[in-house]
Structure 1
Amino acid sequence: MDILKRENESDKFTKIETESTTIPTGSGRPDSLVRRMKDSFKQSNLHVISEDLENSEQTEQEKIQWKLASQPYQKVLSQRHLTMIAIGGTLGTGLFIGLGYSLASGPAALLIGFLLVGTSMFCVVQSAAELSCQFPVSGSYATHVSRFIDESIGFTVATNYALAWLISFPSELIGCSLTISYWNQTVNPAVWVAIFYVFIMVLNLFGVRGFAETEFALSIIKVIAIFIFIIIGIVLIAGGGPNSTGYIGTKYWHDPGAFAKPVFKNLCNTFVSAAFSFGGSELVLLTSTESKNISAISRAAKGTFWRIAIFYITTVVIIGCLVPYNDSRLLSGSTSEDISASPFVIALSNTGSMGQKVSNFMNVVILVAVVSVCNSCVYASSRLIQALGASGQLPSICSYMDRKGRPLVGIGISGAFGLLGFLVASKKEDEVFTWLFALCSISSFFTWFCICMSQVRFRMALKAQGRSKDEIAYKSMLGIYGGILGCILNALLVAGEIYVSAAPVGSPSSAEAFFEYCLSIPIMIVVYVAHRIYRRDWKNWYIKKSDIDLDTGCSVENLELFKAQKEAEKQHIASKPFYYKIYRFWC
């Protein structure tokens, strides 16, 4: 499709949607607040776009991509929102508490595991950023898989990824209630679940701005808390602090040691915890359709490097120096939100007399982190559900968007899953959530693999169709090699996880233990085959490079203007001091 045609199509769709979202004011007088609120929940007239597309000469897949690129989300997210979401948006219990379960494998195993998963995550975010900047569509990387690999694989990725967020929501609500119960155990935890449930749902009804402003504030708190811990940790390692026993250094790396035995199996055991800690780092790329400027997405993606290097790797090193891996408290927590198992609490209480103050401080941080993740769960799952509805892979009602750009049906489905949080009052709560998480346990690695593969396929399609890399709005810092490396690492991580699930550390092999971590594998196979049967397509197992659509919904509409803008930007950066050039390369 030539550039002129794409520009005209884009203008046409923009005009239709602008007209369709105008709220009538009756006799010319401003409507009341109640009336405007009521009207804002009415559906955007997306059927106008759909009817226009039906009469066009585009292929079925091109029509789907136009729909995904033309969803009426409000573009209100600025650079500050995206930067904080990228840096601290999903810092949660995986880091603050779950880290303890990995540390029990040894500080060196913990560090290597986090380095492997962190490198994989950086490749994933860079690959996803390249695709999201080039094709800012509803559902982002989840729908890119359908475009660049195969529709059935894309459906499998999107549904499993949405399910992971949907299941996490009630789990994190329970985390909120248990965190509050640390201070007050006289109140039924179901009461706290109800309070936080209502708060999160109302927050998401404020639209993307409510989500973004809340995440901005909560992320700042989490980032400050991590910096405080890093500074205190360095002081304690050097022998400072109250009641210090002297210089610690790498003492615990020698006694009890750097690795718990068996070494390789314990190393593989760190992958799940690391994936849980890093999980959601790619969330910022889902915001591409709601960002004021696409370039803000690329800069936020670069911030992932600092998040991995500072907040995860540095923290892991400090924790490994302050807490021996054989400390019984690491695995003593009765729940995944029990701060008694937090290596942060253990580290600070081991070398000083801070005691209760440390626990109270960490409990506040953990509560902030859990509320933040709850917010992200509803945001991410609702956008993915809306994208699946808009692309025809779920019932069309799921694509419902109101005039304020809120995917109300998606939010409603997320809210329905959130009601599972009231299982906190049941004695079977742990067992239920163990198997709920088993449904999507290993799917994170599969999702990350497919994101990287999509970027590789995008680059291969450019070459096969004789297109220049100069057309790419944002080039991954690692190029196509980052996508390839991400595919290899995630394949190895899946293999390691299957191995340790089949032969668990310190316990005999069992079918129950295996499926607790790998149930998502047969689930994904069933979803994939079922979608194939629904499509009735057994001939085309993947999209050929020559058939991949590189134009529909592309953010680069005028190639010559785009090149001129990129050249002007390069000249601007070149005119700046050396330190600014380094800053812009990494930020």
Structure 2
Amino acid sequence: MMADSGSDQTLQRSLKNRHVQLIAIGGTIGTGLFLGAGKSISYAGPSIILAYLITGLVIFFLMRALGELLLSNLNYRSYVEFIRHYLGETWGFVAGWTYWFCWVVIAMSEVTAVGLYIKFWFPNIPQWIPGLFLLGLLLVMNLITVEAFGEAEFWFALIKIVAIVLLIVVGLYMVISNFKTSAGHASFGNLINYGGIFPKGAQGFFYSFQMVVFSFVGIELVGIMASETKDPDKVLPEAINNIPIRIILFYVGALFVIIAIFPWNRVLPDRSPFVMVFENVGIRAAADIINLVVITAAASACNSSIFSTGRMLYSLMHDTQSNLLAPLSKLTKHHVPGAALNFSALVIALAVLLNIFIPDSVFVLITSIATTSFLFIWGSIIVTHLRYKHTQLALQSKFKAPLYPISDYLVLAFLLMVLIVLVSNVETIPATIATFMWLGLMFLLGMRHTQKLKRENRLETD
């Protein structure tokens, strides 16, 4: 779908309160939890629950800092514009393109995950086919209107929420009734009976943070939705302040119940523990239902990815002077960045090649790249917030970040710790190096971009 150059070239505030609230929840429930939990549990055992609690606290501080920035100027299209304003044109250029790259990679991981989930029913089907079909379907949906995206994400998120609540309720009943499974009896004793809370020691605990952090990527999506949200002054603080409760319920609650039902050392790293639990207690129909739910979760995250890549690319191209790239800065008659969405989806489709040539290692590779990239994005948000707090504008803030500046420095220390983990783990080193190469290239291009702008400004003033 091509852009309609004659249409009103502004994004519309069509996302309602229920859309934003459910999308904010959906941003904290995705493939990182449903599929990646198997990998992180195999690393950390029951201590994975502590890893999620720690990461959840850090994410809350991050989001409060982001919320204060967003509400300080609602005229900005995304928080990348705040980064550009406070950290300079070069840093803003790198952050914008890296965030677009982040969501492209996330979409690739969701396309991969769908292929892995479908194998539960059809083990012989090539894992790239279902993902490619899903990508095409969601692209069409995103090309309609932003409200169509919001409505789809609302129902995707609702399905995930209901499924996890039912899992927790049913799981608690199984534990209380001492339900017999193929691995023994469901019991709270499973949390400590197989090597204790830290069965893999400190190394296993810290290695789990790669997938734990990946589980939370996308939670800052409200920063992209701000320009298309009705009543952002009311809706955004509410969505951000509810994050801790959601983390405790959906992450900690679900993993606590899973490990109580099914000993951690029986969880396979490349399988969804949610599906494994019901499959191994002999409830095949329930396993089918949960598998459908995790496919929905992947579809939800992929939907958010397409939305984000399109908006970010539109924002990056909005002021471009290039005739070749100009169509990417146009909106369709439905007020969506159609050309930017199409281009982003084309890049995401490269995941098909990865799934053909390296099907066994593609998921860890992609998620590690996304995690490393988001460390840079989140770090940039915090540094921007630190700069903002030294301005007169910060004195007028109505949504102040708690425990500032301790909270900001805590987030930065945590991000540094995760980076050290990534460069210490043989599995994640290649992806980390690839991300550093991307950032290096972007900084070089960003400096050239900044110099070009300075030359143009000098010519205009002469």
One-letter identity of the residue aligned with 2:157: S
Seen in structure 2, the aligned counterparts of structure 1 residues 393 and 111 have a Cα distance that, compared at 3 Å, is farther
One-letter identity of the residue aligned with 1:450: S
Whether the 8 Å CA contact 1:400–1:407 is kept in 2: the answer is yes
Quick check: 1:517 aligned with 2:442?
no
Whether the 8 Å CA contact 1:109–1:270 is kept in 2: the answer is no
Seen in structure 2, the aligned counterparts of structure 1 residues 251 and 432 have a Cα distance that, compared at 3 Å, is closer
After superposition, give the CA deviation of every residue in 1:461-499 in whole Å (9 maximum; x if it has no partner). Answer: 23xxxx562x2243335554433332222222222332x
Name the residue aligned to 2:417: 492
Select which of 263, 266, 282 maps to 1:324: 263
**How far apart in 2 are the matches of 1:513 and 1:298?**
35
**How far apart in 2 are the matches of 1:179 and 1:323?**
20
Q: Identity across aligned pairs (percent)? A: 24
* Number of aligned residue pairs: 449
Quick check: 1:526 aligned with 2:410?
no
**How far apart in 1 are the matches of 2:60 and 2:143?**
32
Select which of 389, 404, 407 maps to 2:337: 407
Report 1:423-434 matches (<5 A): 423=353, 426-430=356-360
Name the residue aligned to 1:147: 85
One-letter identity of the residue aligned with 2:435: S
**How far apart in 2 are the matches of 1:412 and 1:243?**
47
Whether the 8 Å CA contact 1:438–1:520 is kept in 2: the answer is no
CA drift of 1:192 comes to 3.4
**How far apart in 1 are the matches of 2:294 and 2:190?**
28
Quick check: 1:449 aligned with 2:379?
yes
Select which of 388, 402, 420 maps to 1:458: 388
Select which of 386, 393, 398 maps to 2:314: 386
**How far apart in 2 are the matches of 1:468 and 1:495?**
33
Name the residue aligned to 1:41: 4
Name the residue aligned to 2:240: 301
Name the residue aligned to 1:291: 229
Name the residue aligned to 1:542: none
Quick check: 1:248 aligned with 2:187?
yes
Whether the 8 Å CA contact 2:13–2:228 is kept in 1: the answer is yes
- Structure 2's unaligned 5+ residue stretches are 455-462
One-letter identity of the residue aligned with 1:379: F
**How far apart in 2 are the matches of 1:416 and 1:197?**
10
Whether the 8 Å CA contact 1:145–1:451 is kept in 2: the answer is yes
The TM-score normalised by the length of structure 2 is 0.87
Seen in structure 2, the aligned counterparts of structure 1 residues 399 and 522 have a Cα distance that, compared at 3 Å, is same
Name the residue aligned to 1:179: 117
CA drift of 1:124 comes to 1.4
Q: Which of structures 1 and 2 has the bigger CA Rg?
A: 1
Which secondary structure state, in structure 2, belongs to the residue aligned with residue 460 of structure 1? coil
One-letter identity of the residue aligned with 1:368: T
**How far apart in 2 are the matches of 1:128 and 1:521?**
24
Q: Which has the higher contact order (CA 8 A, sep 6+)?
A: 2
Select which of 301, 304, 307 maps to 1:373: 301
After superposition, give the CA deviation of every residue in 1:256-289 in whole Å (9 maximum; x if it has no partner). Answer: 322233x222122111110111111111221110
**How far apart in 1 are the matches of 2:235 and 2:288?**
37
After superposition, give the CA deviation of every residue in 1:106-133 in whole Å (9 maximum; x if it has no partner). Answer: 3343123222221221111111111112
One-letter identity of the residue aligned with 1:196: L
Which secondary structure state, in structure 1, belongs to the residue aligned with residue 199 of structure 2? coil
Which secondary structure state, in structure 2, belongs to the residue aligned with residue 330 of structure 1? coil
**How far apart in 2 are the matches of 1:191 and 1:411?**
21
**How far apart in 2 are the matches of 1:459 and 1:393?**
33
**How far apart in 2 are the matches of 1:92 and 1:385?**
23
**How far apart in 2 are the matches of 1:415 and 1:398?**
13
| Worse overlay, 375-384 or 476-485 | 476-485
One-letter identity of the residue aligned with 2:107: F
- Structure 1's unaligned 5+ residue stretches are 1-36, 47-71, 334-340, 505-511, 540-587
Name the residue aligned to 2:70: 132
Whether the 8 Å CA contact 2:108–2:349 is kept in 1: the answer is yes
CA drift of 1:233 comes to 1.8
**How far apart in 1 are the matches of 2:15 and 2:74?**
14
Q: Compute the RMSD of aligned alpha carbons.
A: 2.9
Name the residue aligned to 1:266: 204
**How far apart in 2 are the matches of 1:376 and 1:393?**
28
CA drift of 1:250 comes to 3.0
**How far apart in 2 are the matches of 1:405 and 1:476?**
33
**How far apart in 1 are the matches of 2:319 and 2:121?**
47
Quick check: 1:116 aligned with 2:54?
yes
Name the residue aligned to 2:149: 211
**How far apart in 2 are the matches of 1:187 and 1:486?**
42
